[in-house]
């Protein structure tokens, strides 16, 4: 008997509410929220008190692909290009060569210890080879720990950009296992075609997204999130249809769009951050529902051994070999190796061998469960003490004061406090020459011990404290006006 729609909606609502409450309690319990999401899914599953029977890997994969699209897009939007640019080379090396080395080492372990064939072992390695940006920074923020430069931007770039490589390896190796006549060397041109096409289309769509959002002039603000959702799905689906890597394209599109100025930027960033959280919670719940705990004791020993090998051997060696040319300090390398949390992506990728009906598909899935669980529990709970032990933490910055929202009659906007930085193109120019966006007004200037009520002829000086009234559309564009550097002659 099929459950009614009302029952399904009730179960989904209860699971989401319990997960949100669990995330609030995770800090007090000392357990990462992602592990609690996983346990909630297991309790709600067929072997738990919830009794929800779910054993549909195809549906789980479809949901997972959609979830990964929005997780990657939100990760790109939230990435600060100015911070990651200095670590672009080592970050890209980690997201490609680092993933490949980790997968290869895990594959050799699976052959020697688990009795897998070489391709089966490499497939397991590919599935668990990528780290999860949401998992990494969820734990860091929950523990209120900041890592010194360049660790934070390096981890941000690696964890946000290594999923496309893991997806490519998983799909390619699954194809080789289902079609033994296929040649391994055929993967090389396929890799370059997918990555180059994905990068080109992602860059083009990122530029097009900002242009479309600024030019479409929708009369209802609530339609802008719908527009960006549609554009993100179009980027992934269009790129994949043309033979490119859709996941790389959607991450790069988010990164390029995040660098641009567009209306409703703050509200759109908040929307996609919330959507990414929803997708992350959904995928951990799905993994919990797909796992049958009664099957786990039989494979617990070898699965836990595989998880420990990945955490303590495969990733550290892969990181050390990848970062060898960049001469990163050993403390920093050790921290990069330790902050390698697994999250939603292995959950999604573990459904590929099950759908292909590969011989070891169920064993691979159960091992992936242990790897994700062990990663979140072992690494997630120890990031703060390990960072302090390695002495790679940074001094905490004072929290930024958020803009003050102002509403008075027909006047509605936010008060933004901003300091004119040294080297800004605004220095020495009159306010009327700045080209402030419509809806922005400098209402007060603090200069030394005096306060100036400006007019259009007021000339700005370095270190001026500005109090700016701006509507939501103009807020980020106004900030960028004062961050620009003067053009060289």
Instruction: Look at residue 118 and tell me if it is in a domain.
Output: yes
Give the number of domains in the chain. 2
- Please tell me whether residues 291 and 432 are part of one structural domain: no
Beta bridge partners of residue 87, listed in sequence order: none
How far is Cα 175 from Cα 285, in angstroms, rounded to an integer?
28
Residue 395 pLDDT > 70 = no
Question: Helix or strand or coil: residue 209?
Answer: helix
DSSP letter string over 439-482?
Answer: TEEEEEEEETTEEE---TTPBP-TT-EEEEEE-HHHHHHHHHHH
Q: What pLDDT is attached to residue 472?
A: 65
What is the pLDDT at residue 488?
54
Q: Are 354 and 365 a contacting pair, CB within 8 Å?
A: yes
Q: Are residues 366 and 305 in the same domain?
A: yes
Q: Based on the domain organization, do 309 and 452 belong to the same domain? A: no
Contacts of 359 (CB under 8 A, 6+ apart): 120
Q: Which of 164, 172, 104, 168 is nearest to 131 (CA)?
A: 164
Q: Are 203 and 169 part of one and the same domain?
A: yes
Helix axes 265-290, 57-77, angle to 10 degrees: 150
pLDDT tens digit sequence for 423-446: 788 888 888 888 888 778 888 898
Query: Residue 5 falls within a domain, yes or no?
Result: no
Cα–Cα distance for residue pair 277/271, rounded to 1 Å: 10
Range 334-338 average pLDDT = 91
Q: Specify whether the CB–CB gap between 241 and 194 falls below 8 A.
A: no
Asked if residue 188 is part of any domain, the answer here is yes
Residues 320 and 430 in one domain: no
Q: Which range in 133-142, 274-283, 317-326 is most confidently predicted, on average pLDDT? A: 317-326
Is residue 449 located within the same domain as residue 305?
no
Q: With respect to residue 1, please indicate whether it lies within any of the assigned structural domains.
A: no
Q: pLDDT higher for 106 or 276? A: 106
Q: Are residues 306 and 419 in the same domain?
A: no
Same domain, yes or no: 207 and 247: yes
CATH number at residue 286: 1.20.1530.20
Is the overall model pTM greater than 0.95, yes or no? no
Least confident of 33-47, 200-214, 390-404, 431-445: 390-404
Q: Tell me if 489 is assigned to some domain.
A: no
- Tell me the residue range of the domain where 327 lies: 17-390
Share of the chain above pLDDT 70, in %: 89
CA distances from 487 to 86, 349, 429, 483 (A): 21, 47, 14, 13
* Tens digit of each residue's pLDDT (9 = 90 or more) over 1-21: 566 778 778 877 888 888 888
Choosing from 357, 390, 423, the residue where a domain stops is 390
Do 228 and 122 sit in the same domain of this protein?
yes
Is residue 143 predicted with pLDDT exceeding 60?
Answer: no
- Segment among 16-30, 227-241, 398-412 with least mean pLDDT: 398-412
Residue 138 — pLDDT band, cuts 50, 70, 90?
Answer: low
Kindly give, in sequence order, each residue whose CB lies less than 8 Å from that of residue 399, ignoring residues fewer than 6 positions away: none
Last residue of a domain, one of 341, 356, 390: 390
Which of 74-88, 135-149, 474-488 comes out lowest in average pLDDT? 135-149
pLDDT of residue 147: 80
In a domain, 273, yes or no: yes
Please indicate, yes or no, if residue 254 is contained in any of the structural domains.
yes
Among 328, 272, 368, which residue's Cα sits nearest to residue 38?
A: 368
Pair (347, 464) in one structural domain: no
Residues 108 and 212 placed together within one structural domain of the fold: yes
Selected residue with higher pLDDT from 71 and 200: 200
Examine the domain organization and report whether 383 and 411 are in the same domain.
Answer: no
- CATH number for position 475: 3.30.70.1450
**Residue 105 is assigned to a structural domain of this protein:** yes
Last residue of a domain, one of 390, 415, 431: 390
Q: What is the mean pLDDT of residues 181-189?
A: 77
Q: What is the pLDDT of residue 411?
A: 46
């Amino acid at each position: 008997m099929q459950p009614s729609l009302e029952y399904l909606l009730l179960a989904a609502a209860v699971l989401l509410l319990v997960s949100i409450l669990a995330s609030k309690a995770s800090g007090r319990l000392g357990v990462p929220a992602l592990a609690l999401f996983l346990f909630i899914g297991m309790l709600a599953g067929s072997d738990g008190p919830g009794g929800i029977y779910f054993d549909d890997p195809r549906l789980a994969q479809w949901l997972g692909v959609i979830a990964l699209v929005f997780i990657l897009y939100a990760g790109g939007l939230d990435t600060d290009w100015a911070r990651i640019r200095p670590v672009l080379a080592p970050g890209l090396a980690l997201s490609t060569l680092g993933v490949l080395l980790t997968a290869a080492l895990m594959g050799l372990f699976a052959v020697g210890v688990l009795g897998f064939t070489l391709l089966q072992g490499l497939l397991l390695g590919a599935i668990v080879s990528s780290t999860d940006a949401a998992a990494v920074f969820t734990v860091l923020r929950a523990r209120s720990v900041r890592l010194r430069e360049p660790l934070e931007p390096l981890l941000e770039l690696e964890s946000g950009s290594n999923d496309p490589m893991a997806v490519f390896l998983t799909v390619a190796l699954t194809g080789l296992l289902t079609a033994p006549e296929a040649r391994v060397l055929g993967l090389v041109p396929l890799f370059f075609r997918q990555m180059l096409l994905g990068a080109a289309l992602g860059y083009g769509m990122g530029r097009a997204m900002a242009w479309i959002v600024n030019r479409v002039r929708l009369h209802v603000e609530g339609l802008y999130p719908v527009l960006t959702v549609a554009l993100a799905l179009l980027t992934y689906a269009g790129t994949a249809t043309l033979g490119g890597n859709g996941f790389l394209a959607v991450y790069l599109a988010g990164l390029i769009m995040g660098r641009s100025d567009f209306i409703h930027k703050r509200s759109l960033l908040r929307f996609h951050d919330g959507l990414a959280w929803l997708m992350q919670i959904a995928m951990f719940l799905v993994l919990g529902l797909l796992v049958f705990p009664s099957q786990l004791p039989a494979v617990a020993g070898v699965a836990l051994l595989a998880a420990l090998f990945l955490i303590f051997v495969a990733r550290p060696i892969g990181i050390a070999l990848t970062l060898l040319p960049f001469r990163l300090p050993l403390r920093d390398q050790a921290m990069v190796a330790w902050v390698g949390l697994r999250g939603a992506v292995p959950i999604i990728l573990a459904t590929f061998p099950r759908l292909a009906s590969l011989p070891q598909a169920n064993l691979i899935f159960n091992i992936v469960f242990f790897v994700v669980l062990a990663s979140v529990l072992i690494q997630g709970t120890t990031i703060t003490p390990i960072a302090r032990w390695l002495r790679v933490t940074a001094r905490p910055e004072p929290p930024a004061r958020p803009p003050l929202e102002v509403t008075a009659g027909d006047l509605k906007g936010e008060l933004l406090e901003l300091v004119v930085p040294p080297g800004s193109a605004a220095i020495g120019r009159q306010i009327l020459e700045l080209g402030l966006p419509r809806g922005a007004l400098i209402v007060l200037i603090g200069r030394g011990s005096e306060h100036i009520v400006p007019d259009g002829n007021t000339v700005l000086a370095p270190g001026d404290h500005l109090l700016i009234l701006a509507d939501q559309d103009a807020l980020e564009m106004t900030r960028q006006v004062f961050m620009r550097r003067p053009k060289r002659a």
